[in-house]
Amino acid sequence: MKTLIVGGGLSGLALAYALEQQERDYLLIEARDRFGGRMKTISQGDGTFDLGPAWFWPGQPRISALVDELGLEKFDQYADGSLTFEDEQGQVQRGRGFSSMEGSWRLKGSFGALINALVTRIPHHKRQLGAPVTQLTNTDAGITAQLGNGDSVIADKAVLALPPRIAAGLSFSPSLPENTIRAMQSIPTWMAGQAKAIAIYDSPFWREAGLSGDAMSRHGPMVEIHDASPNTGGPFALFGFIGVPPQNRQDEKLLRHHLLAQLVRLFGPDAAFPVALHVKDWAFDPFTSTEADLVPLSTHPHYALPPEMASLWGHTLLFGGTEVAPQFGGFIEGALEAAETMLAAL
């Protein structure tokens, strides 16, 4: 029996890795020109930096076990030093608040190391990039996936390891029930409305000044900032979540100007001269976000697989992204939880 896994983010990769270990037949396809989905890592000198998720926590057993199994190294989020707070008028105070990510873990090599470790364990002929699915057709012979380049793939089962709102944009034949499509469209894509900025520096001048790199701001454009430096050596970095609504941050040149100005207010004049300033706006990534996701989430949704999305096409069409995980939905752990559930269902 062959399984088609649509989506090469962490959930899809983890499922493919598990099927490979069990010597089962599968094909993993990804629309982008890279694997990882919302996990996107960039390199600068000897450092790596996450433009997507950056942390995991104690109490998340699957990601901890996978990190150990793949021989990767975790380290504590840097949190030593004074905290910084910026009020509505842009006035800066020190020592107010708390280090919100203290106690969390990051990965040596960033999460790109995790993605690369999984990809290398999946044979080349069982994974394909640049393969967006445009239509899924269910027949007596199985499920046929039509790809954007004109190719097609036939499998016995298909797992949609991607955000349900993205999946709702595919063409299905026969058509899925209307209540199923509505359920798919109603599930918010975690972090899809977010944008993240990373400023990279040759030296950790904020640490030398006794600052942790943690900052909260009610002025913006970033609302939450943390130290994003590697565990040893440099280069060093600060990253922040941008709180400006997606519709108001499309002028990237202006946004970069305001980002640097804020970093200077928070951390001093040395912050004006990063080696590089990277901005990733997930709200306008077509393989992550839809128009419904342009309003960033203010709270963590309650995720799980709605009954309307179960038992489709005689249990041959399945959903496996983090947004359908009932316990850790939205988190990295949730992507692995969903993959684990799908493995049991195949």
What domains sit in the chain, N to C, each tagged with a CATH number? 1-42+61-73+111-190+299-346 (3.50.50.60), 74-107+193-284 (3.90.660.10)
Phi, psi at residue 247, to the nearest 5°?
-65, -20
How would DSSP label each residue in 147-201? ETTS-EEEESEEEE-S-HHHHTTSEEESPPPHHHHHHHHHSPPTTTT-EEEEEEE
Secondary structure class of 45 (helix, strand, coil): coil
The answer to whether residues 26 and 48 touch, using CB atoms and an 8 Å cutoff, is no
Digitized pLDDT (tens) for each residue of the chain, 346 residues in all? 999 999 999 999 999 999 999 999 999 999 999 999 999 999 999 999 999 999 999 999 999 999 999 999 999 999 999 999 999 999 999 986 667 788 999 999 999 999 999 999 999 999 999 999 999 999 999 999 999 999 999 999 999 999 999 999 999 999 999 999 999 999 999 999 999 999 999 999 999 999 999 999 999 999 999 999 999 999 999 999 999 999 999 999 999 999 999 999 999 999 999 999 999 999 999 999 999 999 878 789 999 999 999 999 999 999 999 999 999 999 999 999 999 999 999 9
DSSP secondary structure code for residue 50 in this structure: E
Torsion angle defined by CA atoms of residues 88, 92, 97 and 103, in that order, rounded to the nearest 10 degrees: 110
Distance CA 216, CA 223 (A): 6
The answer to whether residues 66 and 251 touch, using CB atoms and an 8 Å cutoff, is no
pTM exceeding the 0.85 threshold for the entire prediction: yes
Distance CA 195, CA 209 (A): 28
Residue given tokens 């963590």 in the structure block: 300
Torsion angle defined by CA atoms of residues 176, 180, 181 and 185, in that order, rounded to the nearest 10 degrees: -160
Distance CA 280, CA 158 (A): 30
